[in-house]
Amino acid sequence: MSHATIDCGTHAPLRVLVVGAGPMGRTWLKAVSASDEADLVGLVDLDVDAARHAAAQLGRPELPTGDDLLELAARTDAQAVVNVTPPAAHHQVTTTALFAGLPVLGEKPMAATLAQALALAAAAEVSGRLFMVSQSRRWNPQLFHLRDMVAQLGAIGTLTTEFYKAPRFSGFREEMPHPLLVDMAIHAFDSARFLLATEPVSVYCEAFNPPWSWYRGDASACATFEMAGGTRYLYHGSWCAPGAETSWNGSWRASGEHGTARWDGESTPALDINGPAKPLDAHTGPSDIAGALHAFVGALRTGRTPMGEAHENAMSLAMVEAAVESARTGRRVSFAAVLEQAHAQALTDERRPQVRAALERPVGSRACAGSRDGEHSPTTGAVARGPATRDGG
């Protein structure tokens, strides 16, 4: 999708406003402050005292703070927003920023629901502003190396992720109906799409809770995704699996017609291939959220479409919703049906006529199809007071 560029000058950094002062918000504050490409100009949070405290912890007690996104953006002459609010606030905060002319870099998930994600992709089209989702693990150089290895295997039969951890979070994760699938698995699902360069067709998922689990909801899951072209992506995971834990990235294995590629999530991936292996690219750019910020700034300067752009990222959230639906019903779920239902819900919920018009275009050109092209003109006009926001942490 095309989007407006920002001319920061040859060396001037992008003026960034962070929205959300919770734990992850403070992580983003450090990342923006450490970047030579960005200038942290303000912090928005419902709890202004929390925002001031986070600014002081950063060593920036003078940093402008407030509970109104638009007011603080105007006061600081911000050029872009990093949205680190809870998922329930993603739609409101991102829409407010986009229609105020501010591009947005958001934390995962893209929105609380797939319907809201499709609406946000349409809002980005209508506003002409970039909306990119960080999806930080995409920027791990070892994942790039694994992708390069997978590309040498020819046709891929299976890609497998094993994820076994036993964190004691306390708080909302231990009360969620599907903590693993909803709060964590999107990282693996998004990485699988990246590695295979293809999209899911259907999924069968079983979610369950071992008797020793300290979670109220299902903390374990086994999912089999059929990908376009016939590859199967297998996800086996648990958040209540003490002993011999995997890395937070999980353990990966790709099996193809020419061999196998493996990655333990922490070390350099290994390739076992029939015949000579091709040399791997260096992939030396910034990693994790610093990599996402670097890509965001670069996209705004050049107009290029970055990884994680809203239309592309929506399918990672679709994998989560489809897996949860399969676990709930005990049936194989098709992505065509999930996307159709989410699209209908987005049309029902959307109140902006221009966004509804964008959503009403043929499904083949919608966000659910991963469209990245097409010209869209930005809209103008007054935008109501920005929402007060809080980072859920």
**Quick one: pLDDT at residue 5?**
81
Q: Determine what percent of the chain is predicted with pLDDT higher than 70.
A: 91
Our count of domains for the chain comes to 2
Output the pLDDT for position 259.
98
Residue 64 predicted with pLDDT over 50 = yes
Cβ-contact 26, 92 below 8 angstroms: no
* 157/126 same-domain check: no
Whether residue 383 is predicted with pLDDT greater than 70 in this model: the reply is no
What is the value of pTM for the model shown? 0.90
Q: Is the pLDDT of residue 140 over 90?
A: yes
Question: Are both 20 and 78 inside the same structural domain?
Answer: yes
Asked if residue 189 and residue 204 are part of one domain, the reply reads: yes
* Residue ranges making up the domain that contains 250: 141-273
Confidence class of residue 11 from pLDDT cuts 50, 70 and 90? low
In a domain, residue 323? The reply is: no
Residue 279 lies in a domain: no
pLDDT digits (tens, 9 = 90+) for 204-234: 999 999 999 999 999 999 999 999 999 999 9
Give how far Cα 191 sits from Cα of 136, 285, 371, Å.
Answer: 10, 18, 19
Q: What is the mean pLDDT of residues 347-361?
A: 95
Quick one: pLDDT band at residue 8, thresholds 50, 70, 90? Answer: low
Q: How far is the C-alpha of 137 from the C-alpha of 287, rounded, in Å? A: 8
> 152 lies in a domain?
yes
What's the average model confidence in pLDDT over 383-391?
35
Do residue 149 and residue 48 come from a single domain?
Answer: no
- Res. 386: pLDDT tops 60: no
The DSSP annotation for 131-190 comes to: EEE--GGGG-HHHHHHHHHHTTS-SEEEEEEEEE------GGGGG-SSHHHHHTHHHHHH
Query: Can you give the three-state secondary structure of 199-247, one letter per residue?
Result: CEEEEEEEEECCCCCCCCCCCEEEEEEEECCCCEEEEEEECCCCCCCCC
Structure confidence at residue 125 as a pLDDT band (50, 70, 90): very high
Residues 324, 206 contacting (CB under 8 angstroms):
no
DSSP character string of 22-65: SHHHHHHHHHHHH-SSEEEEEEE-SSHHHHHHHHHHTT-TTS-E
pLDDT band at 365 (very low <50, low <70, confident <90, very high): very low
Cα–Cα distance list, 46 to 50, 79, 91 (Å): 8, 21, 16
Question: 388 pLDDT exceeds 50?
Answer: no
pLDDT higher than 60, residue 385: no
- Residue 127 sits in the same domain as residue 147: no
CATH code for the domain in which residue 213 is found: 3.30.360.10
CATH number of residue 363's parent domain: 3.40.50.720
- Top-confidence residue, 380 or 158: 158
Same domain, 263 and 168: yes
77 with 151, same domain: the answer is no
Dist CA 308 CA 305 (whole Å) = 9
Residue 289: is its pLDDT beyond 70?
yes
Average pLDDT score over residue span 359-372: 54
- Asked if residue 34 belongs to a domain, the reply is yes
- For the segment 232-237, the average pLDDT, to the nearest whole number, is 98
- 75/111 same-domain check: yes
Angle at 126 between CA 193 and CA 109, to 5 degrees: 35
- Note whether residue 281 is domain-resident: no
Is residue 377 in a domain?
Answer: no
With bands split at pLDDT 50, 70 and 90, how would you rate the model's confidence at 245? very high
pLDDT digit string, tens, across residues 164-182: 999 999 888 899 999 999 9
Write down the mean pLDDT value for the chain: 91
Residue 283: the pLDDT is 83
pLDDT at 7: 73
Which among 82, 136, 123, 32 has a CA at the least distance from the CA of 356? 123
Q: Do residues 171 and 82 both lie within one domain?
A: no
Same domain, yes or no: 262 and 151: yes
Residues 154, 104 within the same domain: no
Averaged pLDDT, 338-359 = 96
291 pLDDT higher than 50: yes
- Confidence (pLDDT) at 387: 37
Question: Residue 178 domain-assigned?
Answer: yes
H or E segment at 18?
strand 14-19
Q: Are residues 217 and 338 in the same domain?
A: no
What is the arithmetic mean of pLDDT over 315-326?
98
Has residue 326 been placed in a domain?
no
Give the residue, 227 or 369, on which the prediction is more confident. 227
